[in-house]
Amino acid sequence: MNARERFHATMHYLPRDRSPIMDFGFWEETLFLWEEQGLPHDVDTDAFFGMDPQWILAPINVGLHPPFRAIVMEDHGETEIVRDSDGVVKERSKFASSIPRHLRHTLRGRASWEVEFRWRLNGCAPHRYPRNWPQLLTEYLDPGRDYPLGIQVGSLYGWIRNWMGLEGVSMLIYDDRALFEEMVETIADCVIQAITPALEAGIRFEYALLWEDMCYRAGPLLSPKVFAQVLVPRYRRITELLRQHGTDIVIVDCDGDITQLLPLWLEAGVNTMFPLEIGAWGADPLRYRKEYGTDLRMIGGFSKQILASTREEITQEVERLAPLVEEGGYIPTPDHRVPPDVPLRNYLYYLSEARRCWGKNLPNLRPMGVEETATDDGTRFAWHLAEE
């Protein structure tokens, strides 16, 4: 079974050889520290850790086009003031992947929307597809394609929050509801216009991907009432178009406590939640499945905090999730990028347990062969190729 077949079977509760083995990614600081623990420098982590092909997305621009010109405005040594491609002026660190501090936003209200943003959201504008699209189209249409392919379908709230800042969009919803709805409708129109040529070309995407970081530890950043009234109808326009062209797995990438929004996403045709952050609120993929049944698909849900604990706890969590993995409609991965407090040895142990349990005794993949050696400055690893 190849990765494309395995992904499709998993997300549709069909028989398959094993679960896909995937991850979310790693903080830059994590990889830097892991190099000190023996990880080769500048390594392709997907290949190195033996992941199945993952998160391959058709390079179609469904957002601001053209983007704002990114520039460095001030250099402060360890930090710099920049204007990014969303028109946001922010202070960011040069050496760490911490969240930058927003200083001001180009999008502030009706005038800046009309002058700076609305025209950039014309989904029919030229050059939303790359120059090599004809070659990619041939590859994507190949019935022998062996990897799952996704299509990006934008962000109806998260982008506006980025463009205006959290305070700005929150005040906009209160002060000018009509403008907020116009922005959401314009984004939905843009996404639909941009993806329609690819869908009509006959590409069978295995999934579509939304990005909506709109929750935190206490719940959503806007009320479920506004979500239902403004976002759900526009999501439904996008998901119905996708289903007309054979794409019925629609993933939303949203951090934080999604509990209040989850049933509304399902109502809108968004049926796969990712990355299922566990957090202080105790989210649990097993509980979600019990509550929503097989209508809900999930990716993620393995607490990154457990990755930093003991081998016993890692094994216990791998085996606790095993019945859900076996049922299908669920791909277990860490619930966000692996943080720097996770030792390399712990992550390698997690992968070996994932292959044993979720991968049905899948052998370690190249180059997962590893010998642990004691050194004066702690445990390091000597890498060698495992037998295939």
Quote the pTM value.
Answer: 0.93
SS3 236: helix
Q: Residues 156-170: pLDDT tens digits?
A: 999 999 999 999 999
The predicted structure's pLDDT at residue 381: 52
The predicted structure's pLDDT at residue 11: 98
The predicted structure's pLDDT at residue 251: 98
> Has residue 388 got a pLDDT over 50?
no
- Count the Cβ atoms, other than its own, within 10 Å of residue 207: 23
The predicted structure's pLDDT at residue 97: 67
The predicted structure's pLDDT at residue 372: 52
d(CA 9, CA 52): 14
Give residue 368's pLDDT band: very low, low, confident or very high (50, 70, 90).
very low
Counting residues of the chain whose pLDDT is more than 70, the rounded percentage is: 93
pLDDT, mean of residues 82-105? 89
The predicted structure's pLDDT at residue 386: 43
Name which residue leads in pLDDT, 378 or 291: 291
Mean pLDDT of the chain: 93
Which of 270, 172, 182, 266 has its CA nearest to residue 221? Answer: 172
Q: 237 phi and psi, to 5 degrees?
A: -60, -40
Q: 277 phi and psi, to 5 degrees?
A: -60, 135
Give residue 367's pLDDT band: very low, low, confident or very high (50, 70, 90).
very low
Query: 29-38, 96-105, 351-360: lowest mean pLDDT where?
Result: 96-105
pLDDT, mean of residues 317-323? 98
d(CA 268, CA 237): 9
Counting residues of the chain whose pLDDT is more than 90, the rounded percentage is: 87
The predicted structure's pLDDT at residue 385: 38
Q: Residues 224-279: pLDDT tens digits?
A: 999 999 999 999 999 999 999 999 999 999 999 999 999 999 999 999 999 999 99
- HEC assignment per residue over 115-152: HHHHHHHCCCCCCCCCCCHHHHHHHHHCCCCCCCEEEE
Q: The tokens 């506006």 sit on which residue?
A: 160
Name which residue leads in pLDDT, 147 or 371: 147
> Has residue 365 got a pLDDT over 70?
no
Q: Residues 270-297: pLDDT tens digits?
A: 999 999 999 989 999 999 999 999 999 9
The predicted structure's pLDDT at residue 95: 77
Highest mean pLDDT among 75-79, 118-122, 377-381: 118-122
Q: Residues 139-157: pLDDT tens digits?
A: 999 999 999 999 999 999 9
Give residue 94's pLDDT band: very low, low, confident or very high (50, 70, 90).
confident
Q: Looking at 201-310, list the stretches that DSSP marks H as alpha helix, in order from N- to C-terminal side.
A: 224-226, 232-244, 262-267, 285-292, 304-307
The predicted structure's pLDDT at residue 384: 45
SS3 372: strand
Ramachandran category for residue 232: left, alpha or beta (phi over 0 → left; psi -120 to 50 → alpha): alpha
The predicted structure's pLDDT at residue 44: 92
d(CA 272, CA 301): 12
Give residue 363's pLDDT band: very low, low, confident or very high (50, 70, 90).
confident
Sequence-ordered list of residues with C-beta below 8 angstroms from that of 346, at least 6 positions apart, any chain: 307, 308, 309, 311, 314
